[in-house]
Structure formats: structure tokens, C-alpha cells
Structure 1
């Protein structure tokens, strides 16, 4: 086996996680030796270094595409492999490491908390004024139950009017994606209105969403800017929430991998005169009402450790919805997007509101994941479709 340990240059303790795997036999098999050589050749010194010494494997681990390692190992492992196979032991040892983060599709096992190593960090946060813009918010802290007539319902109505009838502080999570005013063909909605009219109406609905959201609840809006009009809708919405004293929690990039738009040459071709930028992602703006901490029972948490570690990395690569024609709706987010939002930001049993429910993805996913829901849309056709999708879950 090629020995690469000499290239570590004394920086092992800082740049690598060191693990040991015992070799419980007199000699490695030819397959094990070939496999270890292949692993050392396949991964760079910056990622992984393996050496053998005194009946053990010594593994110097920095960052790693674990799936690639698994694929490589199983080229050298047969169904009849013995239990003491060092390649399987290596894979099991690495997969059982629980402390890591994700970066560029790799698990990073060392130095991923360096950004937190600030002296007197808490004191400095206090000195700076943590979310100073929301410190004087006067939200009521007493939460209310949602009335039974709104629980697990899809209601055809104007969201502004319907929400105004509901008690304050009764919704755990608002997750929605309003029409973007792109000019798409919605049922019962004109999608190319004057921007002032668009934002006036949107803000009135979001105002009601703030009012009905519980103290400690979250509001998450999925939106894409209209680049041709140079309208950064995500910034308009974020500024609105900040002015309303909500706490900015996060901005998540939903990478849709729409590569067909990457090489479109709009604007000034090969000139700095006026180049037109193209994007393959949308935004999720995440805000909290009153406090960053949401109360809930431990037994109602349903996110796994692996999901948590992957999803707190604020770039989610999820393919766009492919069934929009089947649902006769021009703009839908995929169920996976809603699933991640709900499991990361809410508890089982919470009630989820979507005031622009469209074809019903939010309530469908809420139903699948043991959450209650309230969906509102001005289109009777979309509401009927949403109800049918939910009914199909119970079949």
C-alpha cells in the first residue's frame, strides 16, 4: 500500500481527525490491500490518509465524500466477506462519526466550528446589540388555540379577510410562496399588476400572518426576484418583516439546478454595458416572532440527526416540481422543500398555515408529517384540487 502519511508535516492534530481500526488477523487479504491502495489513490492528502502500523489502520481524516468511499469499498467487498474485513470496518467507523458539517458535498470532520472560536463571544453579542431592530417589539406572549373550524381545512377565500377573523397567536408556522407577479396564468388571479398594488396587497396579508403567528412561531416565505424588472422581492419582504419587528432567522438558497438557463445571453452580449444575470435558485426567508426559541415537546421532534446536520447548511439542492401540468398550476414548490421546512422549524402536532395554498403542497406535506394545517386560496379550482390531494393520502 502506498504510504502517504509522510506528507502530513506535523499538522495532524489540527488538520485531521485521527482514528484507529484494529486488524484482528495476521495479514490483510489481497483484496483488502488493493482496496486500501485504491482509497489512498482516489482521495487526496487533503481529504484522507490511511497507513498501517502495528496491526492497526491509522486513518487521518479531514473531509470526505462518504458515498464515493462506500462505492469504492464495495468494489472490493463480496457478499461472503468475513466480519473482520478492514474495509468494512473503515467504512463503519467513518459513518458512525457524528460530529461534522457539509461543504461542497463532502462531510467535513475537523475545524468546522472555527467561526465560533471568538473570545467573549456572548459579551460581544450583547455589546453589539443582537437583533437590535426587534428588541422593542411588543408582541403578546400568550398563545391561543386555533379555532376548530380552521383546523385541517382548505378554505376558498381572500386570505386577508379570512385571517382577520382569526384570533391572534394561534399559528405555529407560516410557510408559503405567494405569486411572484411574473405574469403567469393563475386561476382567479391577475399576475402582472402594478408593483405598488402587488406589494400593498401582499403586505396586508403578511401583516395578518404576523398577527396570527404564535409568540415564538416562524414565518417562512419562498420567493424569487423578478430579475427582468429589477425587483428583489425577497429583499422587499425581508425589509417588511424587519420593520414589523420580526427577528431574521435565516435565508436559505433553494438550488433548483435549472442549468438550461445558465448560458442564456441576455442584456449586453460580451459587454459590461448592461449584462443580465441569470440564477438557478430561489430564496426562503425565515423570520421568528418575538423570540428565536420555539417551545415544543421533545417527543414531538421528528427530524433525524443526519437530516439536521444536512439541512442546517443553508443551501438546499432540490429538483423543481415536475407535475405542475398534472395539477394545472403554473408555479409549485416540491414536497421535499416543504418537508424540510416543517421538520426543521416545527414540531409534530403544530398547525401550519399557507395563505397562498395553490394546489395544496403545504397541507399535503403537513398531513404526511403529523402536522395540522390551514390552507387558503382565492381560487375555488385550486382549493378543490388541494382537498383531493389530501383525501388521496388517506386512501
Structure 2
């Protein structure tokens, strides 16, 4: 069987293309899966199909990782999926209330004009039909009272289970603190939910010996982040060419900490190519897999923007 060549980016689905990797060749796999929260390339997916994808990709790592190798998954611990069984969320934002019409005023108008419908009552009171409905029914659902709500799911235990079942074990965990990019967004005034400003790094280990070399990082790096459980790294400032980038510094830290020079680093969800660029800059080989042709091209172009670090590539 002809295996995938190093320092290439391949077009295909991760759960299929990973089967073409040389067995026990990958020292580090670093990736962030699709979250299925509405991006163009994931609109047809469901929570069940998302679980199946993760399960298959993680199972493939039992075959691809070398003994003592690591799999690091970067993902937010809370995902939201539409669920018609979730009650409609009702939030009364008093500070943003634009109409002074109260429930008592609506009930009084209904008593005086029992034949009026909601639209006529709205005209009488000088407000919208939605305001009449909200005052009568306690219905203050942003986006429409018939909109399907989202369900919050804690997902860390899913990937731990999938890995454990194939003999890959949770070794450690880091927390990546991003800057709260959306803190000034208008939506934050209509909810009590926190602004998303962190993601988790789940670090898995395939049983086998690995080397601990204190010289791979400087003393300052060990002090600042190498031995720390919380990493403060600003998020990517522009996502115009790809909607789900993570910063190069994040990939670089993972690669420096959990692999060695000339090791093979895998990213089965390569996206815009950040993991490959970080691998090149840190003297590692890489293999990338990406199912969207336009992002394969983007990743290749980004790699070629680094001529001093460019390696011989034979894209397939």
C-alpha cells in the first residue's frame, strides 16, 4: 500500500484519508474539529453525525499514532445544537424595553374592547402586535416565538470515551484563554450567558515511552506556559479567508511541547494551514487532510508564503 507522503496536504474526509497514513508514524496529532453551529461547510450535519465523525477520527488515531505519541484536540467544551424539545428561552430585558405598554394596560383595553384582535389592540395602544403577545403570554423570545432553541452540550466526555475505547488515554488538559472578541456585540445585552473567551485543549496519549527533554524549551518558556495549565493567547484577528482559524502561537506551543524536531505532525482538519506552518517553523514534518477544496488551496498558498521555510512539496 502506498502511504501518504510527508509535507503534503490532501483533499478528502479525515475519517477516510487517515486510513492511508503509515501505521504508527504520527508523533503528534493536533486538530480542532468542526463545531456544527451553522458554518457553510457544516450546515447538513447533525449532532449524531458530528459524534460519528469524531468517533471515527479518534479511532483512526489508534492506528496512526506511534507508541508514546500524543493527540491534542482543541475545542470549546460547550456546543449548541438546535433541539425542538428545548423550551423557548424567555428573557425580559428591562433596560432595552422600548414600549411603555404594560400587561395591565393590555388587559384593560381587552375588557373595554373585547372584540378587538391583537392588531387592533396594538393600534389602540400605539405598540406592536408582538408587544401585545409578550405582555399577555410572558413571551419575550428573541428571534421569534416559533424559533427552535439550541441545546447546550458538554462534549469533553464524548471524546474521552471514544479515545478510551481504542486504548488512547486522557493525559492532561490545558485551557486556552482568548480575548473576548465579541464582548461589545449587541447580543450580549439580551442574555445572561457568558461571552465565549476560552477553549480547551484535551491531551491524549497512546501508551508507550516518550522522552522528557527539559532543553526543548527555554527556562522562561517553561515558566510562562510550558508547565502552566492556562495559556493566554489572543485569538485570530481576521477570519476573512477561513471562518474558524486558531492562532499560530497555539499550534506552535502544542508542537514544541508534545513533539520533537523531525517528528511527523498530523492535522486531519487542516483548514487554512496553520498547523502546517507552525510545524515547518519548528522543524517538524506535517501531513494535513481537508475536505474542502478551497481550503486545501488556501493552505497551500499560505505555506508557499514562507519561502525561507519552504520544503519540497508534491501536492496530491
TM-score between the two structures when normalised by the length of structure 1: 0.55
SS of match in other structure, 1:211: helix
Q: 2:62 aligned with 1:210, yes or no?
A: yes
Q: Structure 2 unaligned segments of length 5 or more: list them.
A: 81-149, 309-316
1:223-242 to structure 2, matched below 5 A, reads: 223-224=75-76, 225-227=78-80, 228-242=150-164
**CA distance in 1: counterparts of 2:285 and 2:276, whole angstroms:** 8
Q: 2:245 aligned with 1:318, yes or no?
A: no
**CA distance in 2: counterparts of 1:383 and 1:259, whole angstroms:** 27
SS of match in other structure, 1:283: strand
**CA distance in 1: counterparts of 2:19 and 2:3, whole angstroms:** 16
For residue 193 of structure 1, report the CA deviation from its aligned partner: 1.9
Q: Is the 8 A contact 2:23 2:64 kept in 1?
A: yes
1:1-395 to structure 2, matched below 5 A, reads: 149-185=4-40, 189-191=41-43, 193-224=45-76, 225-227=78-80, 228-258=150-180, 260-261=182-183, 264-266=188-190, 276-291=193-208, 293-295=209-211, 302-311=216-225, 312-325=227-240, 328-394=241-307
**CA distance in 2: counterparts of 1:214 and 1:259, whole angstroms:** 38
Give me the CA root mean square deviation.
Answer: 2.4
**CA distance in 2: counterparts of 1:393 and 1:148, whole angstroms:** 26
For residue 336 of structure 1, report the CA deviation from its aligned partner: 0.3
**CA distance in 1: counterparts of 2:182 and 2:255, whole angstroms:** 30
Over 3 Å counting, the alpha-carbon distance change for 1:266 and 1:217 in structure 2 is farther
For residue 246 of structure 1, report the CA deviation from its aligned partner: 1.8
For residue 295 of structure 1, report the CA deviation from its aligned partner: 3.7
Over 3 Å counting, the alpha-carbon distance change for 1:165 and 1:260 in structure 2 is closer
**CA distance in 1: counterparts of 2:170 and 2:233, whole angstroms:** 23
For residue 278 of structure 1, report the CA deviation from its aligned partner: 4.0
**CA distance in 1: counterparts of 2:71 and 2:160, whole angstroms:** 11
Q: Is the 8 A contact 1:262 1:280 kept in 2?
A: no
Q: Using CA pairs under 8 Å that are at least 6 residues apart, name the structure with larger relative contact order, 1 or 2.
A: 2
Q: Is the 8 A contact 1:222 1:285 kept in 2?
A: yes
Q: Is the 8 A contact 1:180 1:191 kept in 2?
A: no
Over 3 Å counting, the alpha-carbon distance change for 1:266 and 1:215 in structure 2 is farther
**CA distance in 2: counterparts of 1:259 and 1:190, whole angstroms:** 23
Over 3 Å counting, the alpha-carbon distance change for 1:192 and 1:182 in structure 2 is farther
> How many aligned positions are there?
235
TM-score between the two structures when normalised by the length of structure 2: 0.68
Q: Is the 8 A contact 1:172 1:352 kept in 2?
A: yes
Q: Is the 8 A contact 2:3 2:21 kept in 1?
A: no
Over 3 Å counting, the alpha-carbon distance change for 1:149 and 1:208 in structure 2 is closer
SS of match in other structure, 1:229: strand
Q: Structure 1 unaligned segments of length 5 or more: list them.
A: 1-146, 268-274
SS of match in other structure, 1:226: strand
SS of match in other structure, 2:305: helix
**CA distance in 2: counterparts of 1:376 and 1:352, whole angstroms:** 12
Stretches of 4+ moved more than 3 A in 1? 259-263, 275-279
